[in-house]
Amino acid sequence: MAVLVIADHNNEALNDAVFKVVSAAQKIGGDVDLLVAGENAGGVAEAASKVAGVRKVLHADDANYGKRLAEPMAELIVDLAGSYDAIVSSASTDGKNFMPRVAAKLDVMQISAITAVESADTFVRPIYAGNAMATVQSKDAKKVITVQPTAFDAVGNDGSASVETVGNGAFPGISEFVAEELTKSDRPELASAKIVVSGGRALGSNEAFEEYIYPLADKLGAAIGASRAAVDAGYMPNDYQVGQTGKVVAPELYVAVGISGAIQHLAGMKDSKVIVAINKDEEAPIFQVADYGLVADLFEVMPQLKDAV
């Protein structure tokens, strides 16, 4: 058995999620190899060789992989797939983009966003916004799987895998990168932060996030999240959205401020270890999942909370 894990990275740094995806891959069984496809990503390949339990790192370097567009990525992965029983990646927006393309080219039904590995062919995944968990067994000879990283413990950083260059130089040439607008922040990454402070529609503006959410987050060293309503209204950028169709987080502490707790939001945060809800409506559904609920006006208590922690 051998498993190929596709590494998430940005050409400069390996994403934290890789350590968790490798841990899921080990549960499937067999040797685990890690593919780093990027542009001038030698440093990332080097970092990948330290991920514990990895047999070898496959490094493909080309401008065509610089932004990990689905078309060249799928071509590359399908080309490597022959030697593997399973191909695994994080359920990041990169993985969600190219993995189903790989699956269809291999005539395989992808198993999306798994949260547990029962055996080499049986996996658990949430369905219906996490209101049910399905255990599914795959009949496909080769498995194509995306992993919900928050559901797995990270492997260590003391590996010593060899690095091998790969790449067949075949690029479909049907898509190209034009531009990107990346959110810059010195705060921890939302998906892997230990503490997340999230705001909802109740904030009413971006300025209110700055005044009532940021100070607490900064004092706690937390990442910031938002509900869909807050993102739709333009209070925060799209990549802050937590939920069924945004990011899934499972921090030690999740503080939901002025968020009602719609099932689509709960799907993205209900596996957090401790949940705090601050909402002025004592009937708000968020209180049903909160360990500590404070019925209060956020504009009154958030400054107090910042001072008290």
Partner 1 sequence: MKVLVPVKRVVDYNVKVRVKSDNTDVDLANVKMSMNPFDEIAVEEAVRLKEAGTAEEVVVVSIGPDKAQDQIRQAMAMGADRGLLLTTDQDLESLAVAKLLQKVVEDESPQLVVMGKQAIDDDRNQTGQMLAALLDWPQGTFASEVKKDGDKLHVTREIDGGLQTVALNLPAIVTADLRLNEPRYASLPNIMKAKKKPLEKKAAADYGVDLEPRLTKLKVTEPPQREAGIKVESVAELVEKLKNEAGVI
Return the number of the residue (32 or 230) whose C-beta is nearest partner 1. Answer: 230
Virtual CA dihedral for 63, 23, 128, 134, nearest 10 degrees?
A: 130
* CB count in 10 Å sphere of residue 153: 8
Structure tokens at 62: 């080309």
Nearest approach, Cβ of residue 249 and ligand FAD (Å):
11
Dihedral sign of CA atoms 121, 109, 172, 181 in order = negative
What is the Cα–Cα distance from 205 to 228, expressed in whole angstroms? 14
Return the number of the residue (103 or 203) whose C-beta is nearest partner 1. Answer: 103
Span interacting with partner 1, options 36-44, 49-57, 58-66, 288-296, rule CB under 8 A: 288-296
> Which residues inside 174-213 make contact with ligand FAD, applying CB under 6 A?
200-202
> Which residues inside 45-84 make contact with partner 1, applying CB under 8 A?
67, 69-71, 74
State the Rg of the chain over Cα.
20
- Given a contact cutoff of 8 angstroms between Cβ atoms, the answer to whether 24 and 117 are in contact is yes
Nearest approach, Cβ of residue 233 and ligand FAD (Å):
9
Q: Is 116 in the site for partner 1 (CB under 8 A)?
A: no
Output phi, psi for 87, to 5 deg: -120, 130
* Contacted entry of ligand FAD, partner 1, none for residue 230, CB cut-off 5 to 8 Å set by kind: ligand FAD
* Contacted entry of partner 1, ligand FAD, none for residue 157, CB cut-off 5 to 8 Å set by kind: none
DSSP conformation class of 232 = H
Q: Is 139 in the site for partner 1 (CB under 8 A)?
A: yes
Return the number of the residue (69 or 229) whose C-beta is nearest ligand FAD. Answer: 229
